[in-house]
Structure 1
Amino acid sequence: MSGPVLVIKLGALGDLVQALGPIAAIRRHHSGQHIALLTAPGFVELIQATGLAHEVWADTRPSQLDLRGWLALRHRLRQTGFARVYDLQTSDRSGWYFRLFWPGPRPEWSGIAHGCSHPHTDPSRDLMHTVERQRAQLAIAGIADVPLADLSVLAGRLDPARFNLPTRFALLAPGGSAHRPEKRWPIDRYAALAQVLAQRGMVPVVVGEANEKALALAIAATCPATVDLAGQTSLVDLVAIAGRAALAIGNDTGPMHIADAARRPCVVLFSRASDPALCKPWGATTIQRDDLADLSVDDVLEKAGSI
């Protein structure tokens, strides 16, 4: 098979990071072919920095009523002449992208879209961890030896000097989906944790989005040694910072996937709202409580001390 190859992975951040291993396997399998990747606009810079794709497209996400947007996307997909598409998103939206090739010609398609050439039909696929599920999907398309996501090489190439990071620090990620507060460990626990870490010679460095600034300020109010980087980092910056952390502790949120892929020791905190067996950063140590309010600082420190 010759011709360009498209990989679809739209998000979210943690899911995208876990797909970096499969994308690397696709790149290796199709050595010599042009690889394009379709992803959310906010992830374009990160994918470009990894060098895993020759070309990165920002998904325009046309709404249901945006006929012009759908036609433009259809034209772009069809005129490129893709020989094969790997749908690593396997969502309703990416399924609609498969339909944009109607009435044909259609590329070979790895995914779950009805009528595709390489369907992943395992009825237990939704019970698999993301890494295992994507490995099984790619095996059907003839790709074996799928590695884990690895951002350590990229982290080593980047220079986070402008952040004036301390020599020894712990990365804290106290945020997460604003509409799912049950996935967040209480901020007063993070503040207490930061105090203990600082007393032990490990400076807390807090990362997060701009709308999570209040969380960082609350930690810094209790632990003045805290370095507050909330709202100040791109995803590429985050790779550089995470790659130099002695330890990362945080909720079930995207930055923890970056820290894990940068091959740093990680402790990820889960509530009953998500299942680590399905979505945890692959190499991370996890703690789960039905309600994260029941998780003590001592429990987290004990787990961190074991890695």
Structure 2
Amino acid sequence: MQEAQVETILFISLSCLGDAIMTTPVLESLHRLYPAARIDIVSDRRSSAWYSHCPYRGRIFIKDKKLLLRGAPALINKLRKYSYDLIVDLRTDGLAWLLRGKRRLTKWTARPYGDHAVEKLMGIVRTLHGDAPIPPARMWITQADLDYADKRLAVLPPRPWLALAPAVGGRPERRWPAARYGDLANRLRDRFNAVILAGGPGEGAILSEAAAGIELPVVDVSDTSLLQIAAIISRADMFVGSDSGLAHVAGAAGTANVVLFSVDRPERVSPWRAKTVAILGADNDARNIPVAQVEAAVRRLL
């Protein structure tokens, strides 16, 4: 489609934070192809904040899974009030066909560029994107977020700082034991002056366990919003954590990162085109990753 023919785009994103961040190369590609187009976004509530300061977005529609049939009827009713020149559906097999659009691109006709999740998502828009390089993952934060980060981190000695994210949801084998994060920080005292403990609501106990033995100054930032913690991670010199949304935040922020994998394949879901060392635990269990191996990976990235 020619640029002049596309003024409105509907972009149906993914739900979890890490997955949503991996959709941003597709969003960036669409903007580069159609810079004057308004791009409305469908997102889940938990990841919608990631798009809030995207300069070329239009409306954000929330899919509320607490509603009837996981919010699908309510979402369709909202979306059918509008007509789009292009609908790009990265999530479902059929939603785009229930909406008003001139052209639809979905998983049915995707031609992946490779095995990574981003390369598969970009395959959905391959007929438009062509052979151009795939964009990096994007982060949109405001100066207010960066000012907040600087204020929270002002209690620490000067950089370099190590950001640790000990908490991760899901199966137990996804979580590297919290005490090992403290051990890791102590082994790296010659390279870092302080530790930032990153997490979210309800993760205080795990962060406290990680902090208990750390011999460096520590700040716990688990009480922050998504974009505030993204700004804080962008100020860190290194990030270490399990395969999670915060690992993708670090990648999008340009912070070097060591990501500890278990059930998922690193070659498929590592932070996209980031300065990353991925470590897969033996028997697909992050608890089997030795502290010494993580330490060596951090030192290799420094």
In the superposition, the TM-score normalised over structure 2's length comes to: 0.85
TM-superposed CA distance for 1:164, in Å, is 2.8
What secondary structure is seen at the aligned counterpart in 1 of 2:294? Answer: helix
Structure 2 gap segments, 5+ residues each: none
RMSD of the alignment, in Å? 2.6
Q: 1:197 aligns with which of 184, 188, 191?
A: 188
Match of 1:74 in 2: 76
Q: Percent identity?
A: 25
- Name which of 131, 136, 140 aligns with 2:118: 131
Matches within 5 A, 1:26-37: 26-37=30-41
**Distance verdict in 2 for CA 1:156–1:260, change over 3 Å:** farther
SS class of match (1:268): strand
Task: Assess if the C-alpha contact under 8 Å between 1:38 and 1:56 holds in 2.
Answer: yes
Q: CA deviation at 1:260?
A: 1.0
The corresponding residue for 1:184 is 175
Looking at structure 2, the residues matched to 258 and 155 of structure 1 have their Cα atoms a distance apart, in angstroms, of 17
Match of 2:21 among 17, 33, 58: 17
The residue number in structure 1 matching 2:264 is 274
Q: Name the SS of the counterpart of 2:81 in structure 1.
A: helix
Inter-CA distance 45–161: structure 2 relative to 1 (3 Å threshold): same
Q: CA deviation at 1:242?
A: 1.1
Residue aligning to 2:93? 95
Q: CA deviation at 1:152?
A: 8.1
> Are the structure 2 counterparts of residues 233 and 279 from structure 1 closer, same or farther at C-alpha, using a change threshold of 3 Å?
same
Q: Which runs of 4+ in 1 moved over 4 A?
A: 62-66, 152-157
Verify the 8 A CA contact 2:113 2:123 in the aligned structure 1: no
CA distance in 1, matches of 2:239, 2:221: 15
2:241 counterpart of 1:250? yes
Distance (Å, rounded) in 1 between the aligned partners of 2:293 and 2:120:
31
Q: Which secondary structure does the structure 1 equivalent of 2:271 belong to?
A: coil
Q: Does 1:150 align with 2:138?
A: yes
Deviation, 1:23, is: 0.7
The match for 2:42 is 38
Give CA-to-partner distance per residue, 1:40-66, whole Å, 9 cap, x none: 112222211232413222223365647
Structure 1 residue 127, shift from structure 2 partner: 7.3
Distance of aligned partners of 1:106 and 1:23 in 2 relative to their CA distance in 1, 3 Å threshold: closer
Paired residues of 1:206 and 1:226 also in contact (CA < 8 A): no
- Output the CA distance in 2 between the equivalents of 1:155 and 1:297: 36
Question: What is the deviation of 1:181?
Answer: 1.7
User: Which amino acid counterpart does residue 304 of structure 1 have in structure 2?
Assistant: V
Which structure 1 segments of 5+ residues have no match? 114-118
**C-alpha deviation, 1:188, in angstroms:** 1.7
**What is the rounded CA distance, in whole Å, between the counterparts of 2:128 and 2:238 in structure 1?**
37
The number of residues matched between the two structures is: 288
Q: Would you say 1:85 and 2:84 are equivalent positions? A: no
Cα distance change of structure 1 residues 126 and 189 upon mapping to structure 2, 3 Å threshold: farther
Distance, in Å, in 1 between the alignment partners of 2:89 and 2:204 is 35
What amino acid sits opposite 1:275 in the alignment? R
2:279 equivalent in structure 1: 287
